[in-house]
Amino acid sequence: MKGIIIGGGIIGLSLARELNKNGYDVTVIELLRVGRGASWTAGGMLAPQAEGLEPGTFLDFCIESREMYETFVKTLERETDIDVGYWKCGILCPAFSEEEEKELKKRIQVYSELGLTGKWIDREALEGRYRSLGEEIRGGALFPDDAQVDNRLLMTALEKYARSRGIQLLEFTEASEIIEENGKFEAVRTSKGIVEGDFCVIAAGAWSEHFIKCHVFPIKGEMAAIDISPQDIDRVIFGSKAYLIPRKDYKRLVIGATEEMVGFKDGNTVKGILQLFNGLKDTLPNLINNTIQETWFGYRPATPDLLPVLGKTEIENLYIATGHYRNGILLAPITARVMFDLIDKGIENHYIKEFSLNRFKANKNE
Ligand SMILES: Cc1cc2nc3c(=O)[nH]c(=O)nc-3n(C[C@H](O)[C@H](O)[C@H](O)COP(=O)(O)OP(=O)(O)OC[C@H]3O[C@@H](n4cnc5c(N)ncnc54)[C@H](O)[C@@H]3O)c2cc1C
């Protein structure tokens, strides 16, 4: 069976790997280099609790994927010999106001009723831990099971897996049109000719709307990175002003992220970078003396209800897996698994049903 995947981001490459492991012949069509879309620009947090997700199916989906992560990365590391910087460092969410403190304490309680761990750490204890602490910080909620991965290393490893295991990567190739006959998928028209296959998965991130009406649009995020040393920060700090992600080797602190609905408007802005560095100053003030390494931006694939779109489309053998918005790195292992089960065994589990394209039709009476 030959499968075609449009888009070589974390979603496309993770699914390509799953299919390849199970004997499928897979071709990935990628407009640029694989792994250089949103998946390259992300922070790499595996943070359902720090994100403050409400109890429900989406939180369950995220927690299940977080639980799959260690095995996902360890297997990939064995297959590729690349350490992808997975670190179960826990995430601290500082409170900058009385209201945020109340909200975070409530979140700890709600999560504990679901069996998810979290605890409050007061300001005094934080002062003992960090060389400088923003004046407004009143304490913070620590979610020890949230984690991080170095998403650029992860994309490098997924690319290496693909190249070494015979997944065909058609890079610098634009997929332009889905060709169907009698409602059944036939092929993809590309800038380099027609690619035929038995099935196709649209995994083109924020650009997926080009192929099919799937209600996906970009939410831009700006990011920056600075030098750090191990004394500066011990784990991810995720506040309302900015999040700070020290990489496991302490060679880089990633600072994120802005959120703007400006379409595909490339470039960093003064406003965006100011927001990030002001957030850094308000959290760990002494770090503003550190050297800037890089600034960049990316496009989160979002949907109107900010949930993914997964599963079948109206065209037989044409599937979709996108709309992962702020959590696509976190959700790669579970997305690959549920999409594989759907394609290979026809299993439409409750996640596929919940995140199906049909929900937009029902809402819009189309
Ligand atoms: C600033 C920022 C911070 C983030 N932080 C986190 C985080 O900490 N944790 C987390 O879990 N998630 C995070 N995310 C979200 C995460 O990055 C995304 O949800 C995820 O990367 C989406 O993966 P994808 O494979 O769907 O899309 P992408 O990685 O964007 O891949 C889609 C690919 O499709 C290709 N493509 C597009 N059009 C075509 C075409 N016509 N033909 C062929 N190929 C095409 C693109 O070139 C691209 O390579 C962040 C995102 C951003 C922008």
Say if residue 365's pLDDT is above 50: no
Question: Are 87 and 116 contained in the same domain?
Answer: yes
How does pLDDT run across 118-139, given as a tens digit for each residue? 999 999 999 999 999 999 999 9
Q: What pLDDT is stored for residue 361 in this prediction?
A: 83
Q: Could you say which of 249, 266, 301 is where a domain stops? A: 301
The mean pLDDT value of the chain amounts to 97
Q: Which of 301, 330, 347 is the last residue of a domain?
A: 301
- Are 268 and 296 part of one and the same domain? yes
Range(s) of the domain holding residue 54 = 2-74+151-216+304-364
Q: Given a cut of 70, is residue 87 above it in pLDDT?
A: yes
Banded pLDDT at 246 (limits 50, 70, 90): very high
Same domain, 38 and 51: yes
CA of 223, closest atom in ligand 1: 1
DSSP E strand boundaries for the chain: 2-6, 25-29, 45-46, 91-94, 119-122, 139-143, 147-148, 168-170, 175-181, 184-190, 193-196, 199-202, 217-226, 236-238, 243-246, 253-256, 292-302, 309-312, 318-322
Q: How far does residue 131's CA lie from ligand 1's centre (Å)? A: 35
Same domain, 206 and 345: yes
Asked if residue 282 and residue 156 are part of one domain, the reply reads no
At 181, give phi and psi (nearest 5°): -135, 125
Ligand 1 proximal residues by C-beta, below 6 Å = 6-12, 29-32, 36-39, 41-45, 174-175, 203-207, 210, 221, 223, 256-257, 298-301, 322, 324-330
Q: 14, 18, 27, 31: which to mutate for ligand 1, most atoms within 8 A of CB?
A: 31
301, 327, 345 — which closes off a domain? 301
How many A from CA of 229 to the centre of ligand 1?
A: 29
pLDDT of 206 reads: 98
CATH of the domain at 117: 3.30.9.10
Q: How many domains does the chain have?
A: 2
